[in-house]
Amino acid sequence: MTATPATTRLVGRDVPRVEDAALIRGRGRFVDDIAPPGLLHAAFLRSPHAHAAIARIDAEAARALPGVHAVFTLADLAPYLTDTRLVVALPSPAYRQELHRPVLAQTEVVHVGEAVAVVVAESRHLAEDAAALVEVEYDPLPPVADCVAALEAGAPTAHRDASSNLAAELVLEYGAVDAVFATAPHRFAERLSVHRGGSHSIECRGVVARPDPLEDRLTVWSSTQTPHTAHRLLCDLLGLEERAIRVITPDVGGGFGPKLIFYPEEVVVALAARLLGRPVKWIEDRSEHFVATTQERDQSWDVELATDNEGRILGLRGTLVHDHGAWTARGVNIPQGAVSAMPLAYVVPTFRMAMKVAVTNKVPTTPVRGAGQPQGVFAMERLLDKAARGLGIDRAEIRRRNLVPGERMPYATPLKTRGGMQVVLDSGDYPRCQSMALEGADWAGFPERQRAARAQGRYLGIGIANYVEGTGRGPFEHVSVRIEPSGRIVVATGAAAMGQSTHTMLAQLVAEQLGGDMSRVQVIAGDTAAAPMGIGGSNSRQAVLAGSSAHVAATRVREKVLHVAATMLEAAEGDLEIEGDAVQVKGVPEMKVTLAAVARAVAGTPGFAIPGGRGPGLGASEEVVIDAMAYANGTAVAEVEVDAETGGVTINNLVFAHDCGNALHPRIVDGQLMGGIAHGIGNALFEHMRYDEEAQPTSTTLADYLLVTATEMPPVRILHMHSPTPLNPLGIKGVGEAGVIPVPAAIASAIEDALSPFGVRIAQVPLSPVDLLALIDPQASGSAA
C-alpha cells in the first residue's frame, strides 16, 4: 500500500490528535501526578566533586530526623542486588575498559552529581533536609575536564585505578584513502569542535515504585523512553521473575534521547519501595537534571578533504576525540553515528576516520536528539565550505556536484551500521531536495541582498547544509491489535510515547483498516504488562517499526473480520466494508453486523464450532522485522544578520527542505521538524553546557543554559519531498530527529559568510556573541576563540 490521501481515509491526513483532549484540560498523567496512598519521597545526595575518593559516609544524623524512613548507601542496598553496577553497554569490540556505573557511588565519585546515597522520608522537603545532614568525607582527586587533554601523556585518570582515559577506540574506513591524498590536487583541513549540551525536556526524569502485596508485584512508573529495557534491568538487578515487576511509562513530558537510558535512580527507588513496603517517589529537579541526566555532543575533530580541480570529493580522513563522560551509560554509538553521518549525503570514494573515546569527570554522554549526526554533518559541511572557498566554487554548487544523485538509488555505500550491516541509501533525490531549498531561500538572489546590506554597514550571510539520517533502527517493535467483545479496538505496543504523537499514529493506522473511527481505538503504549516485548523510543524509529507492525496486524485483523462477517451475513467478502462499528454490505448499509457481534461470534461457545473456520478471536500480534534503516535526507538554508558591534546573530530566514518518504500525518511531521530546528538553533547559538577546569559544571540553571524561546525563532519554511522507502509497507522514514541535524552547520556557514569581510572562520558551535566578537576582532577581545 502507499499511504497517500488519495487512497486513504485517515493515513496521510491531519486528523485530530488523540493525546490532546486530556493534555489541554490539565488531565495528563505524568509521573509526578501519580501519588498512591502511603507515598514516601526520595531525595538523592550527590557528589559535589568531579573526582574524589569517599573516605566515610555517616548517615546517623539524617536517619534520626523525624519523618525520615531510611537512608540507603550502596552498602545498605548491595545485599538485595544481584549486581551493584548497571551493565548497559551496547555491544562493541571497541571498548578498552569496562565502565559500568554503580547503582550508588561507594568508594569514589567521578562526576559532580553522581548519586552517593538516597534518603526516603515523609515529604520531599524532609528528604532534602535529611540529605543535607548526611556527612560524606571526600578526599579530592585530580579531575579530568577536557576530552582532548584526557588522552595526553601524563594526564590524570578520571578513575583513580584506571591505566588511561581511553574508553574505546575504533576506525571506520574504506578505500585507499592515504594513496588518494598523496596525489590529490587539493586538500582542505579543519580542526573543529562541537560542545556539550543537554536534552532538557521540560519534564525532568522521575520514578514512582509501588509494591503490591496482594499481587506480589512491584509496579514502577518511570519517565522513560524504554520501559521494556527498564523492566529487564529491574528484574535482573532485583533477582525477580518477569511477572513480579510491571513498568509503565505514563505521559512523558519530552524525552529527546536521555530518557532512553536506564538510570541508577530507577533501581534505587524500586528497591527502596520493596525494602520499605511503601510506595516511593523520586522526581528529578532541574538542578539535578543538569548534573545527573546524560548529555551529548562534546567532540573535537581533525579532518581533511581531498578533491579534484572541479571540487569532486576524492577522499575524506581524520580523527575524532569524543567525550564519553565518566561512565558507559550507552556505548560508542555517538561517535559511530557522528562519523557515519559525515559522508552519507555525498559520493565519497575513500574514507577513514579514527575515533578515540575519552573518559572525563563529567556526566556520561548518550544520545541527545540527533545522536552524533549533527556533529558529523557539521564537520562535513565545514569542510565543503572551505573547499568551495579554496576552489572558487559556489557553496551550493560544490555540494550539488558531490551529492548522491537520485538515479543511483538505491545506493550501496561501503559503510556499515553498528550492527555490521551495509548502509544502503534506499531512496530519495538529494540534489533535487537541495534545489528546492535553494529556490525557497532565493539563494541566487542573495548576493544582491548581501551587497545592499553591506552598503548600509550590515552583515548578512547565507549558509547551507545537507544531511542524510539513518532512521527507523530495527529490528522490530511489537504491536498487537484486538477487537474486544465490546467492539472496541485495543492496540498494545512496546513503543513508548514521549510527546511525538505515538498514540495518534497507531490509532490512525489501525482505524484506517478497521472502520475509520479513531475514537474506537484505545492505544496502550509503554506498559510491560500489556506488551510482552518492546524496544521503545530512540533513533527516529517508532513510526517506522511500530507503525509497520500496527499496519500489518490491523490488516490481518481486517481480513479475519471480513471473513467471519461474510459467513454471518452470507455475503461475499469482497462485497463487505468496515464502517465505524460495523461490517456492512457495500451500498447496503442496513445489511450489517457489528464488530462486537463478530468478536463475540469468534469468542467461542463450548461445544460449538467457530464461525468462519479461522480460529478464535479477532486479534493479531506483529513484530515486523526491518533490519535496514530507512535513510531520510534534507537541506537547510539559513540567512542571518550578524551585528559586528555586539556579536549578536539574528536568523532572518530558515528554509528546510526534506524527504521522509510518505507522511502519515503532515502536521505532526512539521511539528517534529520544527522542534528539532529549534533545538538545532539552540545548539548553534545558545546551548553550551559549561564546565570549569576542575570539571565543575557552571551552567546549571535555565538562566545560564539558554534554551531557544519564541523570540529567537526565525520564520521557518518547511518544504517536502516524498520518496517512499521500499523498506517498510508504509513507505515512511523517521522524522523525530531530522530538524536538529543540519541546522547548526547551516547557521555556522551563514555566520562565516556574513563575517567574510573580517576573514572570520567558524570552527565551533555553539557560538555566543562573545565568541563571535573574539573572532571578529581578536586584538580587541584579547584572545582568539
Partner 1 sequence: MSDAMHDFTLTVNGQAYAIRVEARRTLADALREDCGLTGTHLGCEHGVCGACTVLMDGQPVRACLLFAVQAEGRAIRTVEGLAEGGALNPLQRAFAENHALQCGYCTPGFLMLGTAILETDPSISDEALVEALSSNLCRCTGYANIARAIRAAADAMSTEGAT
Task: Return residues touching partner 1 (CB under 8 A).
Answer: 16-17, 19-28, 30, 32-33, 35, 125, 129, 199-204, 251-254, 256, 285-287, 498-501, 667-668, 670-672, 674-675, 677-679, 701-703, 707-713, 716
Please identify, using beta-carbon distances, which residue of 409 and 674 lies nearer to partner 1.
674
Q: Which CB atom, from 155 or from 702, has the smaller least distance to partner 1?
A: 702
Q: Does the CA dihedral 412-416-422-428 come out positive or negative?
A: negative
Give the shortest CB-35-to-partner 1 separation in angstroms.
Answer: 8
Distance between CA 621 and CA 406 in Å, rounded? 37
Please report, for residues 145, 287, 636, the alpha-carbon distance to residue 704 in angstroms, rounded to integers and kept in the order given. Answer: 19, 11, 28
CB of 40 to partner 1, least distance (A): 14
Which lies closer to partner 1 via its Cβ, residue 83 or residue 129? 129
**609, three cell numbers:** 464450532
Q: Which of 621, 622, 615 is nearest to 560 (CA)?
A: 615
Give min distance, CB of 200 to partner 1, in A: 6
- Which CB atom, from 472 or from 739, has the smaller least distance to partner 1? 739
Q: What is the 3-state secondary structure (H, E, C) of 51-73?
A: CEEEEEEECHHHHHCCCEEEEEC
**Nearest distance, CB of residue 116 and partner 1, angstroms:** 22
Minimum Å gap between C-beta 255 and partner 1 is 8
Min separation Cβ 713 and partner 1, Å: 5
User: Could you tell me the smallest distance in angstroms from the CB atom of residue 481 to partner 1?
Assistant: 25
Q: Is 204 helix (H, G, I), strand (E, B) or coil?
A: coil
Q: By C-beta, is 235 or 747 nearer to partner 1?
A: 747
Please give the DSSP secondary-structure letter assigned to residue 473: -
User: Cα separation of 162 and 742, whole Å?
Assistant: 37
DSSP state, 404?
P
Q: Rank residues 698 and 709 by Cβ distance to partner 1 and give the closer one.
A: 709
Residues forming a β-bridge with 300: 193, 321
Cβ proximity to partner 1: between 20 and 137 the closer is 20
Contact 344, 468 (CB under 8 A): yes
Shortest CB 346 distance to partner 1, Å: 28
Q: Give the angle 30-31-32 at the CA atoms, nearest 5°.
A: 95
Amino acid at 257: G
- The C-alpha atoms of residue 27 and residue 586 are separated, in whole angstroms, by 40
Instruction: Decide whether 26 or 37 has the Cβ nearer to partner 1.
Output: 26
Residue carrying C-alpha cell 547548526: 744
Give whichever of 362 and 679 is closer to partner 1, judged by the CB atom: 679
CA distance 51 to 143: 5
Q: Which is nearer to partner 1, 41 or 51 (CB)?
A: 41
Q: Considering beta carbons, is residue 363 or 578 the nearer one to partner 1?
A: 363
| Least CB distance to partner 1 at residue 522 (A) | 18
User: What's the min distance (Å) between Cβ of 406 and partner 1?
Assistant: 29
Strand pairing report for 280-283 and 299-307: unpaired
All residues at 6 or more sequence positions from 569 whose CB lies less than 8 Å from its CB, including other chains: 576, 583, 585, 591, 592, 593
Task: Give the nearest distance from C-beta 716 to partner 1 in angstroms.
Answer: 7
Shortest reach from residue 702's CB to partner 1, in Å: 4
- When the beta carbons of 221 and 346 are compared against partner 1, the nearer one is 221
Distance separating alpha carbons of residues 102 and 705, to the nearest angstrom: 28
Residue closer to partner 1 (CB basis): 200 or 317: 200
Phi-psi region of 139 (alpha: psi -120 to 50; beta: other; left: phi over 0): beta
- Output 45 or 561, the one with its CB closest to partner 1: 45
| CA pseudo-torsion sign 680, 682, 684, 689 | negative
Read off φ and ψ for residue 158, nearest 5 degrees. Answer: -70, -25
Shortest distance in whole angstroms from residue 667 CB to partner 1: 5
Nearest to 754 by CA among 485, 454, 507, 544: 454
Question: Judged by CB, which is closer to partner 1: 74, or 121?
Answer: 121
Toward partner 1, which CB reaches closer, 120 or 283? Answer: 283
Nearer to partner 1, 248 or 774 (CB): 248
Smallest separation, CB 225 to partner 1 (Å): 12
Q: Quick one: which H or E segment has residue 121? A: strand 115-121
Instruction: Tell me how far the alpha carbon of residue 747 is from its chain's centroid.
Output: 22
> How many degrees, rounded to 5, is the angle at CA 656 between CA 652 and CA 659?
175
For residue 272 the three cell numbers come to 527502596
- Helices vs. strands in the chain: H and E counts, helices first: 21, 31
DSSP symbols for 420-462: S-EEEE-S--HHHHHHHHHHHTTTTTHHHHHHHHHHTT-EEEE
Q: How far is the CB of 573 from partner 1 (least distance, A)?
A: 38
Question: CB 703 → partner 1: shortest distance, Å?
Answer: 5
The three-state DSSP-derived secondary structure of 632-684 is EEEEEEEEEEECCCCCCEEEEEEEEEEECECCCCHHHHHHHHHHHHHHHHHHH
* Whether residue 766 has a cis bond before it, omega within 30° of 0: yes
State in angstroms the smallest separation of the CB of 285 from partner 1. Answer: 6
